[in-house]
């Protein structure tokens, strides 16, 4: 009898899990289910459709119907998993018409993702208040803009919040970002680096308020503005981007253990405390490669790596998930921002003494036309002299430098070794001295 694999979810982690399972077992019966009308699309691309860089929301669908047919995957749209019977190995489901059914499984993969967290702000239920998680969310905001919205407030200054705010500016809306913590990108950058980003954004016409909370969303039935520290800021629409929470209620009800941030605990094979049940993506925790401790890193790159490992194991193979560094990158207007590993704040919170090395340089030879500024900051563990983190802000080539630092951290490279790195040079593409090497030399001098 073919192995029965059920996957609750049908986005990045889930589809990669299904693909890996199919490549491991050509005969398995694989079923995916999603509560949404669309599956297999990039949530990360939503702000860039709003900003007009990508023509249509439908263009974000990475896996078309032909993919599921080719891979012999059964996909159920607008279907909710209502219960998991771990003894009988059955998932109870209900479709949009209310029809109920039962899916037996040999292996179950939980990829239920996360849901937007909306703080208990007075007025949050008004018409014109949005979140950004699904294609439908994006379409609602796009419709509001097309119907004449002229001003907006984005609550939350993290990655998605800033990407959405820039999209709104690009669409012609007067936009304000309000962030409770005293800096933008608080989970990604240290204060000194965040300040550079904020200054750049303000120069581009985005108003940013940090260190204050939204007291109330104003208006009658429809939003007309927000109150921040006694100031009333007009807004035709409000977008709440204050993070997401792991969607784990179904799993917890089935007796699956949770850990950091309420996410599902899983071992290196991504199997939970319940045999034959795996947890992946935004609803599952990982191990941080620097601290060795559980962490919740809700990134698309983590989701697809989770999916591959769990899919292989669910289909009878053997694979291990090594851990995460939380490497991330974005592009805000013309500036790229990236980070990997621990910043100073999180290193201190984990009891790690650090030194840093930072430098401002250029992406090409200074005399070559088109050379763009770049700022690099390295975080080094004092005792071992190992590189444990890096942050980069620049006009180009940020992603690949972040990748290089990620490799260095994973291979336990010391700052002394990076300072001696043999790097390439040509005036159109790089400086004689690679900026990461110069930053390493600065950190090394501090250690001496």
> Which segments of 140-298 are extended strands (E)?
151-155, 174-179, 207-210, 214-219, 223-228, 231-234, 237-240, 244-246, 277-279, 286-287, 294-295
* Residue 427 and residue 280 share a domain: no
* Residue 263 and residue 173 share a domain: no
CA dist 5 to 22, 24, 91, 105, Å? 10, 12, 11, 6
- With 90 as the cut, is the pLDDT of residue 253 above it? yes
The set of catalytic residues is 44
Residues 6+ apart with CB under 8 A from 356: 344, 377, 378, 379, 380, 443, 446
* Residue 238 and residue 123 share a domain: yes
**Mean per-residue pLDDT, 20-24:** 98
49 in any annotated domain: no
371: which 2 tokens? 């050379």
The last residue of a domain, from among 178, 210, 242: 242
Q: What whole-number distance in Å separates Cα of residue 94 and Cα of residue 8? A: 12
52 in any annotated domain: no
The single residue listed with the structure tokens 């004689």 is 432
- The total domain count for the chain is 3
* Residue 125 and residue 201 share a domain: yes
The last residue of a domain, from among 219, 242, 265: 242
Going across the sheet that includes 100-104, the strands are 79-85, 90-95, 100-104
pLDDT digits (tens, 9 = 90+) for 299-324: 999 999 999 999 999 999 999 999 99
109 in any annotated domain: yes
Percentage of the chain with pLDDT > 90? 99
378: which 2 tokens? 């390295």
Structural contact between residues 188 and 337, judged by C-beta atoms closer than 8 angstroms: yes
Percentage of the chain with pLDDT > 70? 100
Phi and psi at 147, nearest 5°, equal -85, 5
> What pLDDT, on the 0 to 100 scale, is given for residue 448?
84
pLDDT digits (tens, 9 = 90+) for 101-132: 999 999 999 999 999 999 999 999 999 999 99
**Mean per-residue pLDDT, 220-238:** 97
* Residue 352 and residue 305 share a domain: no
pLDDT digits (tens, 9 = 90+) for 372-430: 999 999 999 999 999 999 999 999 999 999 999 999 999 999 999 999 999 999 999 99
383 in any annotated domain: yes
Domain that holds residue 147: 118-242
Going across the sheet that includes 151-155, the strands are 129-130, 237-240, 151-155, 174-179, 207-210
**Mean per-residue pLDDT, 206-211:** 98
**Mean per-residue pLDDT, 178-204:** 98
* Residue 359 and residue 422 share a domain: yes
* Residue 99 and residue 25 share a domain: yes
Average pLDDT, the chain: 97
* Residue 274 and residue 226 share a domain: no
Which band of pLDDT confidence, cut at 50, 70 and 90, is reported for residue 11?
A: very high
The CATH number of the domain holding residue 124 is: 3.50.50.60
320 in any annotated domain: no
* Residue 306 and residue 256 share a domain: yes
- Considering only CA atoms, which of 430, 351, 433, 335 is closest in space to residue 388? 351
* Residue 109 and residue 249 share a domain: yes
pLDDT digits (tens, 9 = 90+) for 25-72: 999 999 999 999 999 999 999 999 999 999 999 999 999 999 999 999
> What pLDDT, on the 0 to 100 scale, is given for residue 62?
95
**Mean per-residue pLDDT, 156-172:** 98
Count the Cβ atoms, other than its own, within 10 Å of residue 65.
11
Q: What whole-number distance in Å separates Cα of residue 193 and Cα of residue 316? A: 46
* Residue 78 and residue 18 share a domain: yes
The last residue of a domain, from among 284, 314, 344: 314
């Amino acid at each position: 009898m073919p192995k029965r694999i059920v996957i609750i979810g049908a986005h990045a982690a889930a589809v990669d899990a299904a693909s890996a399972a199919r490549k491991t077992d050509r005969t398995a019966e694989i079923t995916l289910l999603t509560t949404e009308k669309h599956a297999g699309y990039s949530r990360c691309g939503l702000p860039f459709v709003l900003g007009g860089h990508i023509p249509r929301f439908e263009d974000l669908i990475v896996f078309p119907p032909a993919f599921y047919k080719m891979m012999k995957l059964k996909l159920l749209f607008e279907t909710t998993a209502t219960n998991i019977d771990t003894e009988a190995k059955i998932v109870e489901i209900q479709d949009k018409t209310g029809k109920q059914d039962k899916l037996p499984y040999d292996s179950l993969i939980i990829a239920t993702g996360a849901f937007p967290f909306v703080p208990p702000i007075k007025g949050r239920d008004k018409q014109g208040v949005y979140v950004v998680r699904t294609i439908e969310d994006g379409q609602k905001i796009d419709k509001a803009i097309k119907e004449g919205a002229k001003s907006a407030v984005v609550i939350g200054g993290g990655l998605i919040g800033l990407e959405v705010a820039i999209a709104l500016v690009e669409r012609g809306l007067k936009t304000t970002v309000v962030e409770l913590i005293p800096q933008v990108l608080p989970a990604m950058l240290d204060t000194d680096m965040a300040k550079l980003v904020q200054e750049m954004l303000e120069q581009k016409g985005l108003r940013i308020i940090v260190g204050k909370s939204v007291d109330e969303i104003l208006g009658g039935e429809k939003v007309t503005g927000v109150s921040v520290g006694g100031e009333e800021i007009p807004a035709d629409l409000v977008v709440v981007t204050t993070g997401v929470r792991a969607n784990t209620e179904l799993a917890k009800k089935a007796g699956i253990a949770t850990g950091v941030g309420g996410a599902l605990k899983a071992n290196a094979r991504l199997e939970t405390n319940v045999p034959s049940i795996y947890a992946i993506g935004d609803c599952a925790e990982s191990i941080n490669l620097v601290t060795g401790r559980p962490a919740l890193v809700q990134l698309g790159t983590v989701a697809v790596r989770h999916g591959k490992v769990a899919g292989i194991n669910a289909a009878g193979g053997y694979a291990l998930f090594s851990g995460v560094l939380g490497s991330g990158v974005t592009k805000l207007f013309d500036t790229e921002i990236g980070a990997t590993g621990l910043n100073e704040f999180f290193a201190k919170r984990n009891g790690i003494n650090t030194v840093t090395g930072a430098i401002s340089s250029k992406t090409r030879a200074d005399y070559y036309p088109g050379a763009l500024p770049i700022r690099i900051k390295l975080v080094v563990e004092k005792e071992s002299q190992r590189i444990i983190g890096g942050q980069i802000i620049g006009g180009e080539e940020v992603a690949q430098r972040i990748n290089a630092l990620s490799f260095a951290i994973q291979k336990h490279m010391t700052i002394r070794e990076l300072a001696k790195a043999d790097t390439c040079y040509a005036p159109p593409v790089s400086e004689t001295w690679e900026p990461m090497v110069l930053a390493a030399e600065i950190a090394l001098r501090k250690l001496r």
